[in-house]
Amino acid sequence: MALAGPEPESIASQPEPVSGPSQGGWEPTIVAFLCNWCSYAGADLAGISRIQYPANVRIIRVPCSGRINPLFIIKALQTGADGVLVSGCHPGDCHYISGNYYARRRFALLKSLLEFVGLEPGRVHFAWVSAAEGEKFASLISGVVQEVKALGPAERLVKVS
Amino acid sequence: MRMETVAEVETKLRELAGVLLAEGKVDVVIGYERGTLPLRTTPCFIREAEAAGKLVWDATCEHNLARYLRSQRGRVAIVAKGCDARAITVLLSERQLARDQLFIIGVACQGVVDRRKVQAYLADRELQQATLAGAQVVFGGEGWQESLPLKELLWDGCLTCRQHTPLLYDALIGEPLAGDSEGALEEYADVAALEAMTADERWAHFSSELSRCLRCYACRQACPLCYCPECFVDQTQPAWCGKTDETTDLITFHIVRALHSAGRCADCGACSRACPVGIDLRSLNRKLIKDIKQWYGYEAGLDPDALAPLATFRPDDPQEFIE
Amino acid sequence: MENTRLTGSPAGIAAVRSEKDVRNPYRPSPAVIRAITVENEARDIKTFQLAFGDEAARQAFQFRCGQFAELSLWGVGECPIGIASSPLEKDYVEFTVKRMGLVTSALHDCEVGDVIGVRGPYGNGFPMSALEGGRVVIVAGGFAFTTLRSLTRYILHPQNRDRFGELVVVYGARNPGELIYKQDLQEWSRRDDISLHVTVDGGDAGWTGLVGFVPDILKRVAPSSENAIAVVCGPPVMIRFCLPVLSDLGFTPERIYNSLEMRMKCGIGKCGRCNIGDKYVCRDGPVFSLAELQRLPKEY
Amino acid sequence: MMAGTDAGTARLISKNGITALLEALIGEWEVLAPVQLREELAFEPITHASQAVLDFSNTTRPSKNAIFPPCEVLFRYDGQEVHEPAFGRERVVFAMRPCDARSFLLLDNVFSGPPSQDPYYAWRREHTYLVGLACNHPSSTCFCSAVGGGPFDMRGLDVFLTDLGEAYLAEPVNARGAAFLERWAGADSGWYQEADPSAFQRKQELARQAERKLQIGAVLANPLVPSQTQERLESQYEHQLWEALGQKCLGCGACTYLCPTCHCFDILDEADDGSGRRLRLWDCCQFPLFTLHTSGHNPRPSGKERIRQRIMHKFRYFVANYGEIACVGCGRCVRSCPVNIDLRYVLSDLLSDQGQAEMTMNTGQCG
């Protein structure tokens, strides 16, 4: 599955998810855009502290949640991501002061419009995870994977070429 | 006080245009002239005072002429309805136009005719001639003639319009008209109706509606706010949006087109009226307009100095959706 | 079964082929990259030497100097490139490509041994019969020397040389590093049956040759227009300044030829985008005489 | 008007006979008929006869789409393994208008002409039967008779139906049409009726009415002669009208994507990892990207050159290349232009003898 944007650097060596044919065995693929200063560090902390979380997530590191262009998220959904997570610093903690504030409005409108058009709620997730919240990051990922798994493979907005 | 007839408004418009051109105040007046089909007008660019007589004004002046402003050189006068003036305000706040090069001829507007409503009413009968007489539309074809109240054929957006009188103008033609009061018609009833549907129903609705899109980009070309030198649709490195007529590509195009007008769209309806296959494109834009008004208390094109909603923020912006 | 919504109803080409054995003009023939030569210091111009996968394709690809082909990379697209090798070099075909857009960049990332697609040859090519028997003046600029190199090599080939009169080549580039086909240039400079003038807009320390813009050098070389034809290819600004020089030397518009650049897709005169007036550059061109161009609208 | 065609015997088919015929056809072939698709009428495959709308002026999209679709797969590939799309079924485009039929004859020049034949177009053209329906009531924006066509013009069709009121007169136009009628409306079909001479008189009467209707208020009074139109336009290249139209035209593709004779296309690839497809998609000369060179130079940089190209192509360049005007007068571009640029008035301005000075009101350029 070729993704737009830079090659995802995986933190811990992540096993290749087994995309089993049957619904039970099927594992969703989640694309996560993590802001470098908080959420990526939070994910790193989860890895270092050996906190287990599902391996379905493909992490793309970005300088700030404000860097995320809605086209990235739509492109991810097009190229077969079953779920997309965007996570940045809590408001007030942004390394660039206001990146996440701008992003918050952009994501609010994007999520609202995507779900208005009919994308199942639960496909696209937004979160704030600080560098110290390794625990929260792991539970966030498990929650997202579970929710997306319940929705089944992505069909809407998927580009079949 | 007797309501000013549309014809009187038209004569005043012609006089003003003639004066502006004769006194060399502007180089061109962008307005409407009679079209070649019933109930149609066509944009016109008048450069000589004597030709000002071509200008017309009535409920068929449906185009948003602000679309032509960015390509004009020199001093320009433009005939602007309430919604057009809001689009001009957005262009000004985005530094696309020089205010001093612009003479805005505001016109009090009771709303424009929706040609699709006329077509639906006529069913398969062919409209051969039509005239607007006061609050009535008189139309006829081969061996038949009927008239209908204009209100029943108005563009939906005009039924809930609160800027019948433009907020921004250098001269106003016609008495100011009160905007429709807040309660006249629950302003976002159409959006609420779609929101009430389930995700599957909405996906089915938008898939079938947008799958008819020809990709002719009339919606993009008719919109005064769509002026990117290279549209995201035309980019190939990376190719953000496929070029086929598959539903995924069509929905992707219209989602991103709507996103790019978030906080800027004045809901003038020019995109939907330009669509040759009559797709209801406004619902995507109106959903964003409703959200932005609800969450950020902002409406586009009312205040040229206000920052666009996506160009600013408040620490207490709503964030229930964030985990 | 094909997704009918997408294609209306899918075209059964397999059937057509068997019925009328209609060769699909859109289908590229596979060709392997045998060699890649970097032509300039900026390393954004490379010559690809291709050998066709199967013999039939190689036989079918009979071309004339001045023709072009569509180079195809599955998953990326196609682009029209002039054929740089001479028609007499039978076992390979050469294309010189500058890294500019989507397909050319992908091509530049290819290595020797990769397989790409070639479709063609297309276009009318140079008017060989008109060139024969007289003086040939070749004026080239920048990297638009590809098809003219094919012509020069073809004329210099022992089998052809005596069928042509004096051969004058004026070729220039912005600086010595940008001169392409350096090997050819050296070979030709050692021959006495070609009057070669290589110039650069701006020389550098190691440069001993001519310095000056191509139009000025052309004026200085002043090839006689008597029973001569000029073929000019290069950036529009160079052509604009060369034409008056040529006409001052007595070259009439009928005897000045130009190979045009145009955006193309199909290469076979159907997709409608490469027209100048009623002429399609891919089918009726890309080589036009100045007289023809003067009769066409100025839309190129 | 000929009484019966020499291709075979005409026949009458009753109104419910047509429904029965359609039901039979649907069983084996893909039947494309005018279908109400939300806001528009378009040719779509039908699953039963009731979906077909047979009383209409014209569809929004031309029947060209059935033979030259907006998007088609040229090749699919997986690594270096390439294959062409699979086989399709026999098809019939039912109840198409004579103007759409003529567009196929014009498109044949491009797709079947030299230097090479387009196999995708050729297959569909060969495996698609064209059943036309006479235009008893041409609309006021139609001008087919001004560009060499007519509301009862049978050229380009296989079978020609005329709605006589209580039944359809079905005339085979060529051998293929005769075979089609024998097979699907044969003597034993149960909906075959003898076509008596009064049926042909009724048809001629309807034809005269339709032609008269086209003449009333026609903008282009006398039909355009291709060679004269081409020659006239050769001197109109710098006409000031282009400046005015280029300024008003939005530069969208509504007119081209609804035009039965527009044939420009783009070829591009879509791939995911090593596999993907090469597509042919419609393209539009009104878009800047159409002629944009990779170097950034654009031979047609603004709306003026592009709208001039569209009209010069159809009424001058196509005539120079193929001897015919590439317009069938269906009026779709007139009806669909968002800013009401009316081709009929543009043509009458360009071709009128007053030359450049006179400007009628439609063009917007004044003085």
Domain carrying residue A47 = 31-126
B73 three-state secondary structure: coil
Q: Do A71 and B287 touch (CB under 8 A)?
A: no
Which of these, C42, B243, B64, lies nearest to D279 by C-alpha position?
A: B243
- Tell me whether the omega of the peptide bond preceding residue B315 falls within 30 degrees of 0, making it cis: no
C7-30 average pLDDT score: 55
Query: CATH 3.40.50.80 spans which residues of chain C?
Result: 128-259
Q: Do A70 and B238 touch (CB under 8 A)?
A: no
Which of these, B134, B163, B161, B130, lies nearest to B150 by C-alpha position?
A: B134
User: C145 near C109, Cβ under 8 Å?
Assistant: no
Provide, as residue numbers in chain B, all residues whose Cβ is less than 8 Å from the Cβ of C101: 236
Amino acid at A67: R
How far off is chain C from B186, nearest CA to CA, in Å? 39
B285 three-state secondary structure: helix
B234 reaches C (C-beta below 8 A): no
Nearest residue in chain C measured CA to CA from B248 = C6
> What is the four-CA torsion angle of C31, C36, C39, C41, rounded to 10 degrees?
140
Query: What was the pLDDT predicted at B186?
Result: 67
D64 reaches C (C-beta below 8 A): no
Provide, as residue numbers in chain A, all residues whose Cβ is less than 8 Å from the Cβ of B292: 109
Provide, as residue numbers in chain B, all residues whose Cβ is less than 8 Å from the Cβ of D364: 33, 42-45
Integer Cα distance of D53 and D41 in angstroms: 8
Q: Point out the residue among D38, D55, D270 whose CB comes nearest to the CB of B209.
A: D38
B237 reaches C (C-beta below 8 A): yes
Token pair 């208390």: residue: B297
Nearest residue in chain D measured CA to CA from A2 = D273
A7 reaches D (C-beta below 8 A): no
D238 reaches B (C-beta below 8 A): no
Q: What percent of chain A has pLDDT over 90?
A: 83
Q: What percent of chain D has pLDDT over 90?
A: 79
Residue B123 in domain: no
Q: Do D73 and C23 touch (CB under 8 A)?
A: no
Q: Do A127 and B262 touch (CB under 8 A)?
A: no
Query: What was the pLDDT predicted at C23?
Result: 80
Integer Cα distance of D138 and D207 in angstroms: 11
User: B249 near B242, Cβ under 8 Å?
Assistant: yes
Could you tell me if B224 and B164 lie in one domain?
A: no
CB pairs under 8 A between A and D: 13
D60 reaches B (C-beta below 8 A): yes
For every residue of chain A, DSSP letters joined together read ---SSSPPPPSS-PPPP---SSTTT----EEEEEETTTHHHHHHHHHHTT----TTEEEEEES-GGG--HHHHHHHHHTT-SEEEEEEPPTT--TTSSHHHHHHHHHHHHHHHHHHHTPPTTSEEEEE--TT-HHHHHHHHHHHHHHHHHH-S--TT----
Query: What was the pLDDT predicted at B124?
Result: 80
- Phi/psi for C177 (5° steps) reads -65, -25
Q: Do C102 and B246 touch (CB under 8 A)?
A: no
Provide, as residue numbers in chain B, all residues whose Cβ is less than 8 Å from the Cβ of C102: 236-237
Q: How confident is the model at residue C1 (pLDDT cuts 50, 70, 90)?
A: very low
The tens digit of pLDDT for each residue in A11-63 reads 333 444 444 444 568 999 999 999 999 999 999 999 999 999 999 999 999 99
Q: How confident is the model at residue D354 (pLDDT cuts 50, 70, 90)?
A: low
B202-215 average pLDDT score: 95
Q: Do D40 and B277 touch (CB under 8 A)?
A: yes
Integer Cα distance of D155 and D99 in angstroms: 9
Number of domains chain A contains: 1
Which of these, D81, D70, D139, D84, lies nearest to D284 by C-alpha position?
A: D70
Question: What is C128-259's CATH topology?
Answer: Rossmann fold (3.40.50)
Residue B151 in domain: no
Number of domains chain B contains: 2
Q: Do B240 and A91 touch (CB under 8 A)?
A: no
Domain carrying residue B7 = 1-116+160-184
Q: Point out the residue among D266, D269, D312 whose CB comes nearest to the CB of C74.
A: D269
C129-150 average pLDDT score: 94
User: D285 near D298, Cβ under 8 Å?
Assistant: no
- Phi/psi for A137 (5° steps) reads -60, -45
Q: How confident is the model at residue B6 (pLDDT cuts 50, 70, 90)?
A: confident
How far off is chain B from A117, nearest CA to CA, in Å? 6
Q: Do C7 and D237 touch (CB under 8 A)?
A: no
Least confidently predicted of A77-91, B180-194, D112-126, D301-315: B180-194
Nearest residue in chain B measured CA to CA from D278 = B244
Q: Which H/E stretch holds residue D240? A: helix D240-248
Whether A71 shows a pLDDT value over 70: the answer reads yes
Residue B149 in domain: no
Whether C12 shows a pLDDT value over 60: the answer reads no
Query: What was the pLDDT predicted at B180?
Result: 67
D277 reaches A (C-beta below 8 A): yes
Give B73's contacts (C-beta < 8 A, 6+ positions apart). B27
How far off is chain A from D276, nearest CA to CA, in Å? 6
Average pLDDT, chain B: 92
For every residue of D143-198, DSSP letters joined together read -GGGGT--TT--TT-SEEEEE-SSEEEEEE-SHHHHHHHHHHS-GGGSS-B---HH
The chains in contact with chain C, meaning 3 or more Cβ pairs closer than 8 Å, are B, D
Query: What was the pLDDT predicted at D364?
Result: 39
Nearest residue in chain D measured CA to CA from B271 = D338
Q: Do B256 and A70 touch (CB under 8 A)?
A: yes
Query: CATH 2.40.30.10 spans which residues of chain C?
Result: 4-122
Q: Do B276 and D60 touch (CB under 8 A)?
A: yes
How far off is chain D from C120, nearest CA to CA, in Å? 11
Query: What was the pLDDT predicted at A22?
Result: 43
CB pairs under 8 A between C and D: 167
How far off is chain D from C105, nearest CA to CA, in Å? 12
Beta strands in C74-223 (DSSP E): 77-82, 93-98, 115-122, 135-141, 167-173, 195-200, 210-211
Q: Do A161 and D273 touch (CB under 8 A)?
A: no
Residue B18 in domain: yes
User: D156 near D126, Cβ under 8 Å?
Assistant: no
Residue B223 β-bridge partners:
none
Give the helix, strand, coil percentages of chain B, each rounded to 5: 40, 15, 45
Integer Cα distance of B285 and D308 in angstroms: 34
Q: Point out the residue among C5, C6, C102 whose CB comes nearest to the CB of B236.
A: C102
The tens digit of pLDDT for each residue in D77-130 reads 998 789 998 868 889 999 999 999 999 999 999 999 877 899 999 999 999 999
Token pair 């196509």: residue: D318
The tens digit of pLDDT for each residue in B97-137 reads 999 999 999 999 999 999 999 988 988 888 999 999 888 99
Residue A159 in domain: no
The tens digit of pLDDT for each residue in C229-279 reads 999 999 989 999 999 999 999 999 999 999 999 999 999 999 999 999 999
Could you tell me if B178 and B261 lie in one domain?
A: no
Residue D270 β-bridge partners:
D277
Scanning chain B, the segments in alpha helix (DSSP H) are: 6-22, 82-93, 115-122, 156-159, 189-195, 199-210, 218-222, 247-260, 270-274, 282-296
Integer Cα distance of A111 and A113 in angstroms: 6
Which of D71, D272, D279, D281 would you mutate first to test chain A, the one with the most A CBs within 10 A?
D272
Give C181's contacts (C-beta < 8 A, 6+ positions apart). C39, C47, C145, C149
Could you tell me if B106 and B234 lie in one domain?
A: no
For residue B88, count other CB atoms closer than 10 A to its CB.
28
The chains in contact with chain D, meaning 3 or more Cβ pairs closer than 8 Å, are A, B, C
Integer Cα distance of A156 and B210 in angstroms: 14
Distance of CA D354 to the CA centre of its chain: 32
Residue C25 β-bridge partners:
none
User: What's the order of all strands across the beta sheet hosting B76-80?
Assistant: B41-46, B28-34, B76-80, B102-107, B171-173
Whole-structure pTM value: 0.92
The chains in contact with chain B, meaning 3 or more Cβ pairs closer than 8 Å, are A, C, D
Amino acid at C24: N
Whether B187 shows a pLDDT value over 90: the answer reads no
For every residue of D86-135, DSSP letters joined together read -----EEEEEE-HHHHHHHHHHHHHHTSSS---HHHHHHHHHEEEEEE--
B253 three-state secondary structure: helix
Could you tell me if B175 and B203 lie in one domain?
A: no
Integer Cα distance of C110 and C105 in angstroms: 9
- Phi/psi for B33 (5° steps) reads -130, 165
User: B102 near B166, Cβ under 8 Å?
Assistant: no
Provide, as residue numbers in chain B, all residues whose Cβ is less than 8 Å from the Cβ of A106: 310
User: C119 near C83, Cβ under 8 Å?
Assistant: no
Provide, as residue numbers in chain D, all residues whose Cβ is less than 8 Å from the Cβ of C105: none
Residue A43 in domain: yes
B207 reaches C (C-beta below 8 A): no
Integer Cα distance of B45 and A104 in angstroms: 43
Residue A59 in domain: yes
- Tell me whether the omega of the peptide bond preceding residue C286 falls within 30 degrees of 0, making it cis: yes
Q: Do D270 and A161 touch (CB under 8 A)?
A: yes
Q: How confident is the model at residue B74 (pLDDT cuts 50, 70, 90)?
A: very high
Output the CATH code of domain C4-122. Answer: 2.40.30.10
Provide, as residue numbers in chain B, all residues whose Cβ is less than 8 Å from the Cβ of A101: 313, 315, 317
How far off is chain D from C3, nearest CA to CA, in Å? 10
Report which DSSP code applies to C91. T
How far off is chain A from D124, nearest CA to CA, in Å? 23
The chains in contact with chain A, meaning 3 or more Cβ pairs closer than 8 Å, are B, D
Give B44's contacts (C-beta < 8 A, 6+ positions apart). B30, B31, B32, B33, B54, B55, D248, D364, D366
Residue B136 in domain: no
The tens digit of pLDDT for each residue in B164-186 reads 999 999 999 988 877 765 544 56
Q: Do D277 and A1 touch (CB under 8 A)?
A: no
Q: What percent of chain D has pLDDT over 70?
A: 94
For chain D, domain boundaries: 11-215, 226-363
Integer Cα distance of B82 and D258 in angstroms: 32
D279 reaches B (C-beta below 8 A): yes
Q: Do B203 and A116 touch (CB under 8 A)?
A: no
Q: Do A104 and B313 touch (CB under 8 A)?
A: yes
Residue A112 in domain: yes
How far off is chain D from B134, nearest CA to CA, in Å? 24
- Tell me whether the omega of the peptide bond preceding residue D288 falls within 30 degrees of 0, making it cis: no
